[in-house]
Amino acid sequence: MRVDELAKTLDHTVLRAGTTVADVERACGEARDLHVAALCSFPAFVPLMADRLRGSDVKVCTVVSFPFGLDGPEAKVCAAEQAVKAGAEEIDVVMNVSALLSGQPTQARDELVRVVRAARRTAGMSGRGEVIVKAIVEAPLLGEPLTRLACKIVADAGCDFAKTCTGVGTAADPRDVEVMRDALPAAVAVKAAGGIRTADDAVVMLEAGASRIGTSAAPQILGAVRAGTPV
């Protein structure tokens, strides 16, 4: 895989506790130079990212109800609306995994539906065009039957992607990616995230069926490929 092709599968992430303005500014420069698909950080940094990435081919991405998905529905909707108004073009929202594990899949679905509608309505009203919504399902916590159910919920809610996990206490697994890709309709893509540190890690996830990779190691991954490290 060519380095420019690999770059456009990567969401460069800055989601560490204690993230500073300087961290995000540095990541904006890296994202522009590397031509990754998106830069993802906390909602507080969306205006900064939107300013620094303006005119580039890198999308502004942020998270909603990160990392546990347990904010109330109104809070999730408000967060999505505010993020889009501030310049977010992509939103990674954590599904209410607790509801799913508690036998309440309808609650998890209804929350996602509201977030997707709010994000797209806000984007339309602000003239920003399409906004991509990725739902984080925390597959490592679910097992295969519930992961398949989560994927159905993601598709029914109108999301663009199902994402394996937050990476907070969980890590992407190629088997989860395979299950998710099989369970989702063709129109809904898979994003793998959590513990993806090398080009080999990324390629394994892509070969399993992912279209996007979330990683805080995008500069290292692409640097290794440019240096001729085998992939």
Which of the residues are catalytic? 92, 163, 191
> Beta strands of the chain (E only): which ranges?
10-14, 38-41, 59-64, 90-94, 132-136, 161-163, 189-193, 212-215
The rounded distance, in Å, linking the Cα atoms of 41 and 66 is: 11
Residues 41 and 24: beta-carbon distance below 8 Å: yes
The rounded distance, in Å, linking the Cα atoms of 195 and 217 is: 9
Residues 141 and 167: beta-carbon distance below 8 Å: no
The rounded distance, in Å, linking the Cα atoms of 222 and 220 is: 6
SS3 of residue 95 by DSSP: coil
Residues 199 and 221: beta-carbon distance below 8 Å: yes
For the chain, how many helices (H) and strands (E)? 10, 8
β-strand partners of 162: 135, 190
CB-based contacts of 128: which residues, under 8 Å, 6+ apart? 84, 89
